[in-house]
Structures are given as C-alpha cells and as structure tokens.
Structure 1
Amino acid sequence: MLVVGFGSGPLQANCYLLADAAGGDCVLVDPGQEATEPVAEALAEHRLTPVAMLATHGHPDHVGSAAELSAAHGIPLLLHPADAAAFDVASEPLEAGTHTLAGLDVTVGHAPGHTAGSVVLGLATEEGGRLVLTGDTLFAGSIGRTDGAGAELEKSLRTLLLPLPEDTVVLPGHGPATTIGQERAANPFLTEMSRA
C-alpha cells in the first residue's frame, strides 16, 4: 500500500493519499487548509487519480481545501452527517461500516468526542499490516480537545482504538505517526484507560 502524508495550513493538519500502488486510483483523506497545491504535487509525483475524498471530521483545518479539490477532480467530500450539519460543509454522508474505495477496504468507525461526527478510518495492507487514521481523536502522546464531550471521546478510544492490535500504525490528524502499542504504553490518557 502507498501512503503519502504531509502537513498543510497554519495548524499543519495531516493530509493523506492512500493507494494500492503508484500509478492508480487513490483516496484523499483530510484535505485541509492550503492543501490544494501539495495534493496536486503528490498526485503528479505518484501518478495518482483521486476517486474518493474523506474527512475524519469537519474542522476547517481538515476540510479547508475540500471544495476546491472537489471541483478540480469531480469527487464529493464524504463527511459524517453530524459534522456536515454542525460546520456547514458541503458533503455527502460518510456512514459507519466498510467501504471499498480505490480498491481499498476502508472501515469507518464513528468516534464522537472531538466533534460529534468524528470518525476513524481503518485499513489492512496486503502485506498483513494494519493502519488507522485517527484525525484529532488520538495523537502520538495525546488525545484531541473535547469541548465538554470527554466521556464520548473516552468511549470512542476505549471501544474503537484500544482493542486494536499493538502493531497497528496510527496516522493522526496532527504530528507524527505512532502505533497503538506505543500509545497504550506511553500515552497518559490511554495508559490510564488500560489500567481502569
């Protein structure tokens, strides 16, 4: 599997392109602010064609370039309905379940807490690995802001992320990649939950 990631915009939100291999279709995840040009460069470098665009949640730093990219490539943004309504983002519903996009099986888990419509996206690689795109639900060493929805975020972490295998690679919405095992061992929010 080909994974291309880069930070974009003032908050350096991570934008990802996922594909079976270079030279084919791809899924674009979290087209944040000022992402249009770096997306175009990555598509050209890897000879990719975007066929789907997903957002882990509706905050502007994660969807700021969605309208421009949607118009350029003729693909809608898929976003959970709760966030589409809350942030007035033009999109089609992204529902929980497994979706086949660009030849990849993407499992969408509804993970409210950071926002009402936050989701995490899970994929398995042909090589036997696993990865999960967590948006602003889980970071290396931390978790996302909750704005009063801490219990919801804790439930999402406990039910969707903590049970994953330790070698699952975490691609967060900001900052470096990590693994579920690393976060269980060193992330103070997850270690506390694991003990409880």
Structure 2
Amino acid sequence: MIPLEDNYTDVIAKAQRGLNLTDSVLAAKAGVSVEELRRVKEGEVIEEVLERIAPVLGLGKRALLDLAKGMYYPKDQGVIPGLFHFNTRWEDMTVNSYLVWDKKTKEAAVFDTGGNCTEMLDTIKVHGLNIKYIFLTHTHADHIAELGRLKRATGAPAYCCELEMIPGTEPFHPGREFQLSDLSIRSFLTNGHSPGGVSYFITGAERKFVIVGDSLFAGSMGGGNYSYAEALKNNKEKILTLPEDTIVCPGHGPLTTVGEEKIHNPFFAFS
C-alpha cells in the first residue's frame, strides 16, 4: 500500500505558505495561541485548534480532522484494465509513472518516467506494447529522470507543454488532443505547482483516467510553487469537475477518484 503523499501537517504548511500567513497572523486570525498552533504543526492532534485554523487556511474542517486522525485513505481500485502504475524510488521519496494502452492494438503511451523505468520497460516487453507517445506532466527532476533512457528504448517522441520546455521534447499547446487507437487523450493546463503543469484526461477504455502529475494528490495537492491561487483554481475547475468515477493518477501517493477527493481532500471538501 503506497502511503499518502502528505499528512495533515503538510496540508497546513502548504496552505499557510500559499496564503503567505505567518504563525502569529494565522494564530491571531484563528483565535488560538502561537504555542497551540506550533503544537499542531509539530503533529499533535488538537481538534479545537484544527477546527479554528481550517477556515482561515481555506481548508475543510471535517476533511482536515479525518486526515489528522488517520481516517482517510482512498479505496483500492484493484486491477484497472489498460493502466499500469509504477511507483519507484527517487532520492528520499517515491514517484509515480504510468503506462496506458489499448488492449486491441497494444498501442501505448507513457506518462512521466519515474526514478527508474526498468519495471516499465519490462512490462512493455512482456505485453508486446508499441509505445507511441511519452507525455510529461511537468519537468521537475523526479518526473523526468529516465526520459533519455525511455526515448532510446522505445523510439517514441516525448511531448511537453510549450510553457515548460526541456531539450529532447516536442512542444504542444495545452488543449491538444491525441489519439491512441480507440483511446482519446485530452490535455489541459493545470499549472500552479509548476509553470507548465499539464493533466491528461483519457477516455475510451473501460475506466476513465486523469493523469495529473503533482497538481493533485489523494488528500492533498502539490505545493503552489508557481502560483497557489492558480493551483487551487485549476484543481477545482478542471480536475474536480470531471466525472466522479474518473480515476485520478497523481505524481505521488496512491490512486484516488474525483468523487473521493471532492469529499475527503481538505483543500476542496467543505461539507
């Protein structure tokens, strides 16, 4: 079982940084002491403090409390036809990459490279897949570490958003659609974590998938390194408006669904 990418203290820290709130300002707005805030940020679950700081940080109270109490983990999606998920080591963390394929023609597309693509290449060989595309969600080092090796091994072109180009990739404008036999791959801009972050919505298989990179995680989201406001807006308006049974394939942590994140993600669940 892949652990959640973020715990509740990570969620608090990302929201606080995104809103540019100091501890003293956050504590004052929430009506708690700086000492109480410090204890919560260090991992002590003080429900009253969490309930007070949540609205100041734009977080859902119930979802934040559930995360703090260890009560949220997304449902296991089991075997998903046409989707392979790889979770590989990169320095002191793990990172996800994905392989999507049409079962009839065995045409396939790679999404990000992970920290080591050996298992992916073995899977491609075992299933006799023909890699037509390599897509990047964004260009942070952990997501492109094996790009050169994948390109050499598969002969496939690599595609990257024109706003975040790196050598060896072909630029495209978000909104472009790609065809993979009977599968349709629609790209859309979900920047905020990075300048040219892109998500890919895939239809035509037995299940619908959206591969989101670090835009959204189970129970959290990527830090708004480029723009916190844009990250929130894109997740809310572009990813969480997809059908609720859409499988969300994040850059770190376990798979989830749009429906689960609308209920359980503190950044977006306010019921």
Q: Which string of whole-angstrom CA distances, capped at 9 and with x for unpartnered residues, describes residues 109-144 of structure 1?
A: 1111010110111012343x3211111001100000
SS at match of 2:261: helix
The alignment partner of 2:267 has SS state of helix
Name the residue aligned to 1:109.
Answer: 188
Structure-2 residue corresponding to 1:29: 111
Q: 1:174 to 1:102 in 2, by over 3 A?
A: farther
Pairwise mapping of residues 104-143 of structure 1 onto structure 2 (< 5 A)? 104-127=183-206, 129-143=207-221
Q: For 1:182, what is the secondary structure of its paired residue?
A: helix
Given that 2:201 and 2:210 are in contact with CA atoms closer than 8 Å, whether structure 1 keeps it comes out as: yes
Matching of residues 141-180 of structure 1 within 5 Å: 141-180=219-258
What is aligned with 2:162? 81
**Aligned pair in 2 of structure 1 residues 23, 8: CA closer, same or farther (>3 Å)?**
farther
Say if 2:134 is the partner of 1:53: yes
Structure-to-structure mapping, 1:3-14, within 5 angstroms? 3-10=83-90, 11-14=93-96
Q: CA deviation at 1:102?
A: 4.7
**Deviation for aligned residue 1:27:** 0.3
What secondary structure, in the 3-state scheme, does the structure 1 residue paired with 2:97 have? strand
CA spacing shift, 1:54–1:187, aligned 2, 3 Å: same
Match of 1:44 in 2: 125
Counterpart of 2:177? Answer: 98
What is the TM-score with the length of structure 2 in the denominator?
0.65
After superposition, the Cα gap between the structure-2 partners of 1:135 and 1:148, relative to the gap in structure 1 and judged at 3 Å, is closer
Distance in 2, matches of 1:23 and 1:164, equals 27
CA RMSD of aligned residues (A): 1.7
Cα distance, 1:154 vs structure 2: 1.2
Distance 1:80 1:179 in 2: 24
Mapped to 2, the partners of 1:22 and 1:42 lie a distance apart of: 17
Verify the 8 A CA contact 1:22 1:46 in the aligned structure 2. no
Structure 1 residue 163, shift from structure 2 partner: 1.1
Question: Does the 8 Å CA contact 2:164/2:195 hold for their aligned counterparts?
Answer: yes
Query: Matches of 2:199 and 2:229 in 1, distance apart?
Result: 17
Q: Which residue of 1 aligns with 2:66?
A: none
**Inter-partner Cα distance in structure 2 for 1:13 and 1:94:** 24
Q: Which gives a bigger RCO, structure 1 or 2 (Cα 8 Å, sep 6+)?
A: 2
Structure 2 gaps of 5+ residues are 1-80
- Which runs of 5 or more residues in structure 1 are unaligned? none
Instruction: Measure, in 1, the Cα distance between the counterparts of 2:110 and 2:121.
Output: 11
Task: In structure 1, give the amino acid aligned to 2:115.
Answer: Q
Secondary structure at the aligned position of 2:188 is classed as strand
When structure 1 is superposed on structure 2, of 143-152 and 95-104 the one drifting more is 95-104
- The worse-fitting range, judged by mean Cα deviation, of 168-177 and 94-103 is 94-103
Equivalent position SS for 2:126: helix
Does residue 15 (structure 1) correspond to residue 97 (structure 2)? The answer is yes
Letter in 1 for 2:268: L
Q: Distance in 2 between matches of 1:103 and 1:26?
A: 11
Q: TM-score, with normalisation over the residues of structure 1?
A: 0.89
Decide which structure has greater strand share: 1
| Paired residues of 2:211 and 2:250 also in contact (CA < 8 A) | yes
Identity of aligned residues (%): 31
CA contact (8 A) 1:27 1:102 kept: no
Matched position secondary structure for 2:242:
coil
Instruction: State how far apart, in whole Å, the 1-side matches of 2:105 and 2:204 are.
Output: 17
